[in-house]
Structure 1
């Protein structure tokens, strides 16, 4: 899926402050699914969330939507390494991402909810905000594609 040019400029403007952060750039060294880095995955999830909101005219906090999506997997470790601490990654990484993001950024309640609850229904806490649901849906779309096809879901840069 290529970036829709109708949304591209607005999207780039919103993601740039976060993806230029040195700590966020570290996500690029960890593989998320297939050959997709965690940073590529998070950018894809941010764009798909943003696109769904725009396409369906969902009035939301676009800045919190994108920031939460970009930080939803900000756990900063390689979960593929066989290690006891990674054994329950699917259940625990949202909490680790929230701890890291809270340490490194000022987060809104929406952003915190997105990060903490993006693994619903695997994690049974219901998302509270529409932005959280959008990221949860986009994450499932991108993760499925990346796992099956072994490449990022969105062609991020032209």
Structure 2
């Protein structure tokens, strides 16, 4: 069982979305070279949910918006949208999310504004700022997976089978 699956409240908010066949289509899609869009979306949703809950903010909307923030099916590195991806994909994600579930204003703001910094319009709700920052955190963490793994297995590692320097 995955760590987020043990959180019954989180799963009450988003479990049905995670299990939905349309969302399951994200499983094979590469996100940041070393993660899938499915994994990335859950990582962003769960981390954002925990932060919002700690602050006493709307953690349900944060979890749902975080889960659906990258709800699109194309590889942006291989499409005509490459240069405008930061602006285009939130609009595609919200359109796909609306086919899956009814969204409130806060969830819509999270999905549409999570690329703030790369786009002009800032979020309207504090929960969208959480998802924006957590999304960047996970993007960097996922992209650096090979480096993190190398550093764990380096000659200084207690678990390394390599010759010590």
Q: Structure 1 99/4 Cα, relative in aligned 2: closer, same or farther at 3 Å? A: closer
Structure 1 unaligned blocks of 5 or more: 152-158
2:141 is the alignment partner of 1:142? no
Do 1:36 and 1:150's aligned partners in 2 also have CA atoms closer than 8 Å? no
Q: Which has the larger radius of gyration?
A: 2
2:85 is the alignment partner of 1:89? yes
Do 1:30 and 1:76's aligned partners in 2 also have CA atoms closer than 8 Å? yes
Map 1:1-158 onto structure 2 (within 5 A): 3=3, 8-54=7-53, 57-81=54-78, 83-149=79-145
User: Aligned residue pairs: how many?
Assistant: 146
RMSD: 2.2
Q: Distance in 2 between matches of 1:138 and 1:59?
A: 17
Aligned to 1:154: none
Q: Distance in 1 between matches of 2:103 and 2:21?
A: 17
Give the secondary-structure state (helix, strand or coil) at the position aligned to 2:81. Answer: helix
Aligned to 1:156: none
| TM-score for both structures, normalised by structure 2 | 0.79
Q: Structure 1 94/120 Cα, relative in aligned 2: closer, same or farther at 3 Å? A: same
- After TM superposition, give the deviation of residue 3 of structure 1 in Å: 4.2
Judge which range, 90-99 or 119-128, deviates more. 90-99
Answer 1 or 2: higher relative contact order, Cα 8 Å, separation at least 6: 1
Q: Distance in 2 between matches of 1:123 and 1:39?
A: 23
| TM-score for both structures, normalised by structure 1 | 0.82
- After TM superposition, give the deviation of residue 4 of structure 1 in Å: 8.2
Q: Distance in 2 between matches of 1:62 and 1:105?
A: 17
Structure 2 unaligned blocks of 5 or more: 148-165
Q: Structure 1 140/95 Cα, relative in aligned 2: closer, same or farther at 3 Å? A: same
